[in-house]
Each structure stands twice: as structure tokens, then as C-alpha cells.
Amino acid sequence: MDLGPGANAIRLLVAAIVLLATVGQGQVQESLQQIAFIADSDPWRAAKALSLTLERIIEPPLTSRLEKDPYLDSKGRLVVTPPTDYDEEAHRAKYAHWWTEPAHASQQHLYELLEECSDELAHPEATYMLYRMHLYGEWGIPHNWTLGWKYLERFNVLSNGTNATSLYDTAVAHATGLFGVIPVSPEKTLIYLQKASHLGSQEATQALAYRYLVGHHVPQDGTKALMLYSKVAHELRDSYPARFWHYHHEYYQNYGIPFVFSHGQELRLEHIYVSSWNRPLLRLRSFLLQLIEDADELGSLGYMDLGICDTVQQAIENTIDTYTQYADYATVLRRMLGIYEQFKGEIDDAEEVTKGCYGSGMALLGHLLLRGLGINEPDIEMAEQVLLHAHNILLSVNKSLPRIPLKDLGLLYHYEQKDYKRAAECYLHVQDPVNSYLLNLTQNSLSQEDLVKVAAGLEYGNLHSLFTSIQINELRLGTKPPDMLASKYSNFLERANYLQSPDLRNAFMQALMGNFENALWLYARSAELGSVAAMESAARILYKSPCLICSPPQIPPQRADMAFRYYDRARLMGSRWSAIKAGDICYRNGSYETAAALYLGGLSEYSRLTLAYMYEHGLGVDRNYHLAAQHYESATRFVPWAGTVGKVLVWKVALKSWLHSATWLQRLFHSLAALWNWVTI
């Protein structure tokens, strides 16, 4: 008996719950059969129910800072290495093999349901899920450029071009050609960016602003760039509460670090911190390590009896999250509260090293309480109490140490209690001009002349101060040209990329799992916003630079061309490193004149070595032994093991130069040759 769609919905819900609760392969198959039963009459409902049982965004398992990082090697390095070559046939075979593995039965069944909905029923939501599966890797489906484009195009038709996200993705597809799937079309890119921007896409608006700023396939127009950048920046600013911006360091996570993909590049512990708020904590960590090291040198071991230094040192490490580990604020907060309650009454009688460690721990505790990290909401009253306590303890050890908690006390008085006099005193003691400027702006105590100085000083602070500086220049002074203000907004959005889009983080996570094509798509999306880090990361995935004596990577010409374009665009945004990499690609392709021009625009020890060889042999430049010797010497000057090699290369060039310039010797050789020819006639 047919009980109607309501009964079908109940059956689907029950089947989904059962599937979520199952642990055995047989139970999973049984639940899939229940969903398949309903799918006969309504495949979309079945697909929706099944999708709820699967993880949409697949990420590698990250661990707490309390645990060992499984992604670091024995030397504490994080190295993410994309494949050198790209073989389309191998990718097709890998894609086909995935569908034969029984472990993916749930994803495969979901895909079949969605495919039926899209191909036979022209269902827009199912088509949307399909295109995101193939381009973003959602629901664990392997990447496929061709199918991703197929369903993206179809979704735009079914949705009548009203989805801003898919329109932006279409613009990215035309900008990149999906790396060999479709022709690159700057004209279509611009059309779809304008459509997506009109529908409210911040990404598309920023991509247009970037194009007008640098003149990328459009006439350069600083005024239009400023208008668009300002719109995006203000919308982003208004989407978060004021308190968020006041403490933005604590929430700043930037995954735009492209050098993790370089060949053999080490990413040591000091480089894998992702939160910019770690800067004060890194200083605290540095001070604590120096304090313990000095105590060890003096043979003072009494501080170890209390165990405070070890606990505080571990706590500081556990509050500094990395690319592959997250901070455990709750545990750290609990431990620091325990130390506070246990030792606050007797710490005055402890030796200086112990007090220094204890005071650092209390500075950390106040830091967390002020920001509400590890607890449901900030505890301003206790934060002030603990920070003042930390200040007094550290002051008794060293007069320079109270700067650590005083910075937080200044923020507390400034933004929480509105006690501007005490806030000014704290900022003065810690020599914090940026927050002092912001405080003066709050009190409206600056003249027009002072505003000019303040605007310049605020550029070097956090996102809040940078945005304030741009506003002063844009709204109150009006002395800066539009393109300069647009560049400053671009810098603001680049630094705040983690707030606007998760693409950079998601791209890194995909690369960490070895899904480099998914990562490439996500980096490509961010690259169209003008992100230099995304451009360089995408280029490194597309083209892994070989060593000097190695053969170039075996990749399709479209991918090599896009890698060059990304590097060249990043070069125009000020990246000297990208100029060198673009030169490498041209050198490998035999475009020596272009390579020489790029190398000269981004001189480094590495580029000088190749440039010296080019001057020595006249590749793309006029043969010049003097310049070749100069570049050989400069290239090997800072490499200890290469000093002797550099001297040999310089001597070789000097000898060739002498032989080349010794015209009398050449004439002698010619005369002897002529004499020999006459004798042998």
C-alpha cells in the first residue's frame, strides 16, 4: 500500500539514522538497500538522506598540540611535495579504479542517485552537488576536471544563472581553462565575474578590483579598483563585531604560505604557526626558554622542584596552533588556573627563576581570560586581576618583563573599561605606538597634521589599525592617489583572506592528503582574487621546478603555460621569487631572452648562477665574460661548500675571456694554420 511521500520521508530518515549507527559492512548494505527502495520513487529524497550520513568536507585528522604531530618527520619538518609529472591517462586510470573499491560503496551510491537526478530529471540541486564533488572533492568523490565542468555548465543552465558561487567558479574555469579542459577566455572570465558580482559575490567583486588595479585583461583604472576594493573591505569589516577586530591577532589564521610546496623545503616549527596572535606568545615562549637556559648555565635547579617552569613552558607551546595541530585552550586554562590557586600565596618567597616562570604563566592565563579562549565567554574582571598579579611578579624579577601582561592590560582598559588614561600608560610602558594612535583616535585628540603621521604609523599594526589607516587616507585626508589606496585595501584583504574564504586552508588540507588537483582548484579560486600566495602555490603544483642538471617535468603544455602565467602575475604584484621561477620555465623552454629579463628582475644566488651561464654562452644576452664572472662569484659567495666551485668557474670564465680577447694569439693560430696548409700542398 502506498502511504504517500510523507511515509517515504520517514523511511528515508530511519534508513539514514540506521546507516549512521551501523558499524558492520552487512548492516551498511542493508541500510543502503532501504534507501534504494525509496529511491525507486524519489531518488532526490534518497540522495539527500544518504548525503546526511556522509562527511561532506574530507580533511586529514589533526591532533591537539598536547599530542605528537604525525605529519612532521624526524627532523621536525613538514614537507608537502606534489608530483613532478602529470599524466592524464594515469589520472583517468586512478579515477576509474576508485569506483571499483567496495570501501566507497556509500559515496558511489550517492553519486549514482545524484547522477540519475541530474541526467534524467534535470534536478538543479543534484547537479550542484555533482559539480562540487568533482571540483572540490566533496563527499570524498575523486577529482575530475571534465565532469566538473560538465555539471557546472549544466547547473548554470538549470539555475538560470542566478547562483553567484557557480558563476564565480565559471569565471575561474574560463580564466584557467581548467588547465587543459577548455580554452582560456579572458573575455568570458570578465563576463561571469560581472554577473557574479552583480548577484553579490564578494569574491567576484574583489577579482574585478584586482583586475582594474593591475590592468589584468582590462584597462588599468585605479578609481574603479578603489571603489570595488572599498566595497568588499567594508562589507567584510561590518560582518564581524568590533571586539573581533580589536583582538584580531588572536583569530588570525593565514594558510597562504606557498613555500611548503617547494622541492625539499623545510618547514620548521617556527614556520608552521598559523595564528598571528602567536606573536606575543612567541615572545613569551622565547623569554621563558632563555630564562630556563640561563638558570641551567648557573646551575640553579631549585625551580624544578615546584614543576612550574615545565608546566608553563608546555602550556605556552599548547596555545600556539600550527598547520597540522590545534591549540588546546581549555586544558591550558585549567592548568594555569590550578597553578594560580596553588602558588599565588607563596610565590613571593620563591627564587627569581621560579617567579619568572610563574609570572609568565599568569600572563598567559590573563591573555586567555581576556579573549575568552578555553571558556564560554571572556572573564574581564578575573583577567584584570590575573594580569595585574603577573605584572607585579614579573616586575620583581626584571623591570623589562612586565611588558608581557601590560600589553593586554592596555587593551583591557582601552576596549573593555574605557579607562583611556590607564590604557595610555600601559601602551607607553610597552612602547606600542599603534595602539596609542588608535586610542588617540578614539578620544578625537588629534589635529589634521597629526592624522597624517597616525595614518602612516597605523599601516604597520594589525588588521584593525590597517583598515583605520586606509579610512583616514580615503575619507579625511584625500591626499593619496586612488591606485595607492586600492593597493592598501588589497593588502588588507590579502591579510584577511581567512575571514573571507576558507579556500587557502582547504587547499592546504587537500594537499596534505595528497589531493593536489583539489588543492589546485582551490588555489586557482583564490588566485583570481589577486592572492600572491595562491598564485605561487598553484604554480608549484602545476610545475615542480627541477634541479639544474635534471630534466624538466613531463606535463601538458597547458599546465606549464598556466604555471608561467601565475608566476608572472605574482611577479607583477611584487614577488621577486616568482620572477625567478617564471624565468626558470622560460629557460627550460628555450625562451632565453625572456628568461634573462625575468632573472634580472629578481636577482638571487640561484638566478645569478643561471644568468652567469647565459652570459658565458650568449644565451638570450650578448656574450659577456666579465658579467658572467661577476654573477658566478655572487651566486656562490653565500654558499659555504660552493666557494671553491665558484672560484673555478670564475677562473674558467677569465681564461675564456683572455683567449677571446687575445687577438694576436688568434692571428698566430691563423698564420700557423695557413703555413701548414702551404707546406702540405
**Burial 397-419, CB ≥16 within 10 A → b, else e:** beeebbbbbbbbbbbbbbbbeee
Least confident stretch, 17-21, 428-432, 588-592 = 17-21
pLDDT at res. 515: 94
**pLDDT tier, 484 (very low <50, low <70, confident <90, very high otherwise):** very high
**Among 390, 393, 418, residue whose Cα is nearest residue 405:** 390
Say how many CA atoms lie within 13 Å of 318 toward its Cβ. Answer: 25
Q: Which residue has the higher pLDDT, 77 or 212?
A: 212
**pLDDT tier, 278 (very low <50, low <70, confident <90, very high otherwise):** very low
pLDDT at res. 301: 43
- Each as own residue / partner, the long-range contacts of residues 51-56 (CB below 8 Å, 24 or more positions apart, any chain) are 51/110, 51/129, 51/139, 52/16, 52/20, 53/16, 53/19, 53/20, 53/106, 54/106, 54/107, 54/110, 54/139, 54/140, 55/139, 55/140, 56/138, 56/139
From the centroid of its chain, how far is CA 551? 30
Q: SS3 helix, strand, coil % of the chain, rounded to 5?
A: 70, 0, 30
pLDDT at res. 6: 45
Least confident stretch, 40-44, 50-54, 123-127, 662-666 = 662-666
CA–CA gap between residue 172 and residue 521 (Å, rounded): 9
Question: Is the separation of the CB atoms in 410 and 436 below 8 Å?
Answer: no
Q: Which residue has the higher pLDDT, 466 or 252?
A: 466
Q: Which residue has the higher pLDDT, 1 or 544?
A: 544
CA–CA gap between residue 356 and residue 667 (Å, rounded): 81
Determine how many CB atoms are found less than 10 A away from the CB of residue 604: 16
**pLDDT tier, 307 (very low <50, low <70, confident <90, very high otherwise):** confident
Angle, to 10 degrees, between the axis of helix 352-371 and the axis of helix 380-397?
Answer: 160
Q: What is the mean pLDDT of residues 351-372?
A: 91
438 contact partners, CB below 8 Å, separation of at least 6: 414, 458, 461, 464, 465, 468
pLDDT at res. 98: 94
pLDDT at res. 378: 95
End-to-end CA distance of the chain: 114
CA–CA gap between residue 334 and residue 337 (Å, rounded): 5
Mean of all residue pLDDT scores within the chain:
82
pLDDT in tens, 176-222: 999 999 999 999 999 999 999 999 999 999 999 999 999 999 999 99
CA–CA gap between residue 534 and residue 467 (Å, rounded): 23
pLDDT in tens, 422-463: 999 999 998 888 888 889 888 776 677 777 777 888 887 788
**pLDDT tier, 292 (very low <50, low <70, confident <90, very high otherwise):** low
From the centroid of its chain, how far is CA 572? 19
pLDDT at res. 602: 73
Query: Angle at Cα 503 formed by Cα 501 and Cα 509, nearest 5°?
Result: 135
146 contact partners, CB below 8 Å, separation of at least 6: 181
Query: Helices in 372-432 by DSSP H: which ranges?
Result: 380-397, 403-411, 420-429
Phi then psi for residue 637, to 5 deg, are: -65, -35
pLDDT at res. 354: 86
Q: What is the mean pLDDT of residues 502-523?
A: 92
Strand residue runs (E) in 298-339: 325-326
In the structure, how many helices (H) and strands (E) does the chain have? 34, 2
pLDDT in tens, 309-344: 888 888 888 887 778 888 899 999 999 999 999 998
Q: Which residue has the higher pLDDT, 574 or 306?
A: 574
